[in-house]
Amino acid sequence: MIDIIIKLAFIVVFFAATFFIGFYSRKKAQTSNDFALAGRNVGPWLSAFAYGTSYFSAVIFIGYAGSFGWLFGVSALWIGLGNAFIGSLLCWKVLGRKTRLMTQKLESATMPDFFGKRYKSNTLKVFASIIVFIFLIPYTAALYNGLSSLFSTCFSDAIPIWVWILIISIATGAYTIVGGLFSSALNSFFQGIIMLVGIVLVVIAALNVNGGLMSSLEMLGTTGFSDNGGWQYASIFGPDPVHLIFVVLLTSLGCWGLPQMVGKFYSIRNEEQIKKGNVISTIFAVIVAGGCYFLGGFSRIFASEKTGDIIPRMVSGLNVVVVAIVIVLVLAASMSTLSGLVLASASTITFDLFDSKKNKTEKQKLWSLRILVLASIIISALLAIFQVYGPQELTKDIAGLMGISWGAISGAFIGPFLYGLYSKKVTKASVYVSFIVSIVISLLGLILSFTGHSFKLESNGILWFDFADSIYMGVLAMALSFCLVPLVSRFTKKLDQDFVDELFGTYEHKVLVKEGSVLIDKEVYKEEIQKASFEKE
């Protein structure tokens, strides 16, 4: 009983802090622009932590770390390093500045809105909005799936899972509805600190159960869970390097096309802070993602079979304070991700689907955003309850659910978005092709998976591709998006050259301002022009 009281005490303190932050942030969300973008005035620490906490949730900590740690052993660490250097460092470097500049030039608040204005097609914007709304659902289900696995293990079913889902939904909805993106970003910073401290403590505590790092590696290397011996799970490239590469690509490159990730670049304050945010987000990812996958790599010395709750089982036997920290860690990661997901969905619907009425007032937009955040929370909670209590044949494992979501959305968006920032030659037709091909590939993989059909490419005992696996199909969708967009653009009608030249001119216009920079909000920019002296380069 005392253990449950300690765990609940940590949770109560955590929730109290999130509510306080939400209440504190309420004055920062007075307009729809403030609510969805925080006035494009978010600093590097908040932006970096918001990016990292949206990236790493219960899906990573419970689902991917456990599942892939079991499959790959300590070589699963490559996934965490890929997330840090491809999904964070390189993503910020390649997309950060240009995304911030072009989205301000286009006055776009969401990724679908970017597609609509960049390629001058309202139909394209609606198409992209539908993709976002539909395919973020599996990700939300995966998130709750991980939470339910943790709570059922750590509380021995003393509290029903649906109660936890309800509590988490209310808490996340409360601070997001009250304070919008700024509240979400500030809470993400607080939650990110918990994640950093928590993952370090958990890794140390878990390894010490078996005598430390070297003893744990030795024990992992002598397990006999494969025909070729357990040594593979303690090796640097693991037992299945081909599969490992696909996982690294999906989880690292995939975030380049996700609206809840790329959207963090829309709101950062200025160019100098993008550089700082890049460094901060990379360090955060190395510690959190690296720690999660490194811990997951020792799954086989804590469990005799692969299950969905390997990580909870690894930590459930630790000191009660460490277990309580783990619970709060996963809560922090999941609530920040959930907040980012519902904000992305609500913003997409408000700005891209319902904002066609030109006479819609600012107050109406703000209330639309809040109502849709609430609706998204309710829908996600109901889906989560079905995910836990519904027929098992209609649900999938956490890794599979996340693969479907990331593969479909990133496969559709990654090519059109990246090329849209860098190339003047991209056509509207090529964007449609990328969207359609990605959806077809994702649905094909889903059908093959649910019907039990398997179509694999194998040779010499090595699996090169599995058409029923969402990981492989997601990477295929992204690869085709990269290839098809420039190919189709060569043979289809180009956009108006004057429009494209003016749009890309925003990268080339340079002024030196005493305080501030080019990357500042429009109203602030006007004030700076009046106050500051300029010096031609």
pLDDT tens column, 269-285:
777 778 888 999 999 99
> Residue 529 pLDDT more than 50?
no
**Under 8 Å between Cβ of 8 and 153:** no
With a cut of 50, say whether residue 243 has pLDDT above it.
Answer: yes
Of 86-100, 183-197, 334-348, 504-518, where does the model show the most confidence? Answer: 86-100
Query: Residue 537 — pLDDT band, cuts 50, 70, 90?
Result: very low
H and E: helices and strands count for the chain = 24, 2
Task: Look up residue 494 and give its DSSP letter.
Answer: P
> Is residue 82 classed exposed, middle or buried when 0-12, 13-18 and 19+ CB atoms within 10 A define those classes?
buried
The gap between the terminal CA atoms of the chain, to the nearest Å, is: 70
What phi, psi does 79 have (nearest 5°)?
A: -65, -45
Task: Please give the torsion angle defined by the CA atoms of residues 385, 387, 389 and 393, in that order, rounded to the nearest 10 degrees.
Answer: 160
DSSP sequence for 347-397? HHIIIIISTT-TT--HHHHHHHHHHHHHHHHHHHHHHHHHHHHS-GGG---
Confidence class for position 223, pLDDT limits 50, 70, 90 = low
Closest CA to 293 of 262, 259, 252: 252
Q: Which is nearest to 355 in space by CA: 103, 104, 109, 106?
A: 109
What's the CA gap between 39 and 267, in Å, rounded?
7
Per-residue pLDDT, averaged over 166-177, amounts to 78
Give the chain's radius of gyration (CA, Å): 23
Q: Which residue has the tokens 């430390």?
A: 212
pLDDT tens track for 379-404: 777 877 776 666 554 445 555 666 67
Does the pLDDT at position 378 exceed 70? yes
pLDDT score, position 227: 47
Q: What share of the chain is helix, strand, coil (3-state, %, to 5)?
A: 75, 0, 20
pLDDT at 83: 93
Q: Lowest-confidence range among 89-93, 100-104, 110-114, 223-227?
A: 223-227
Of residues 186 and 74, the one with the higher pLDDT is 74
Return the pLDDT at 481. 95
Distance between CA atoms of 373 and 347, rounded to whole angstroms?
A: 9
Beta bridge mates, 466: 456
Angle ∠(278,282,283) on CA atoms, nearest 5: 120
224 Cβ contact list (under 8 Å, min separation 6): 230
389 contact partners, CB below 8 Å, separation of at least 6: 161, 162
- 271: tokens are 């160019």
Percent of the chain with pLDDT over 70: 74
Alpha helices in 91-136, H assignment, sequence order: 91, 97-106, 111-118, 122-135
- In this structure, what are the phi and psi dihedrals at residue 511, rounded to the nearest 5 degrees? -135, 150
| CATH class as words, domain 2-389 | mainly alpha
The confidence score (pLDDT) of residue 305 equals 64
Question: What does the domain layout of the chain look like in residue ranges?
Answer: 2-389, 496-537
Residue pLDDT, tens place only, 450-492: 776 778 888 877 788 888 788 888 899 999 999 999 999 999 9
Name the token pair of 75.
Answer: 């070589």
Residues contacting residue 443 through CB under 8 Å, at least 6 positions apart: none
* Cα 243–chain centre separation: 21
- Nearest 5°: the CA angle 76, 452, 443 is 75
d(CA 150, CA 95): 35
Average pLDDT for the chain? 77
Residue count of the chain: 537
Residue 330 CA from chain centroid, whole number? 14
pLDDT at 311: 67
So what's the pLDDT on residue 515? 44
Handedness of CA 174, 180, 184, 187 (dihedral sign): negative
The confidence score (pLDDT) of residue 90 equals 94
Contact criterion met (CB below 8 Å) for 38 and 317: no
Q: Kindly state the average pLDDT of the residues 157-168.
A: 76
pLDDT-derived band at 238 (thresholds 50, 70, 90) equals confident
pLDDT for residue 63 is more than 60: yes
Which tokens go with 388?
A: 């836990």
> Cα(453)–Cα(87) distance, rounded to whole angstroms?
32
**Between 523 and 444, the higher pLDDT residue:** 444
Q: Are 116 and 130 in contact (CB under 8 A)?
A: no
The span from the CA of 531 to the CA of 526, in Å, is 9
Residues in contact with 30: Cβ distance below 8 Å, sequence separation at least 6, in sequence order: 366
Nearest to 231 by CA among 240, 241, 220: 220
Reading the block at residue 347, the tokens are 């913003």
Are 123 and 382 in contact by the 8 Å Cβ rule? The answer is no
| pLDDT at 209 exceeding the cut of 90 | no
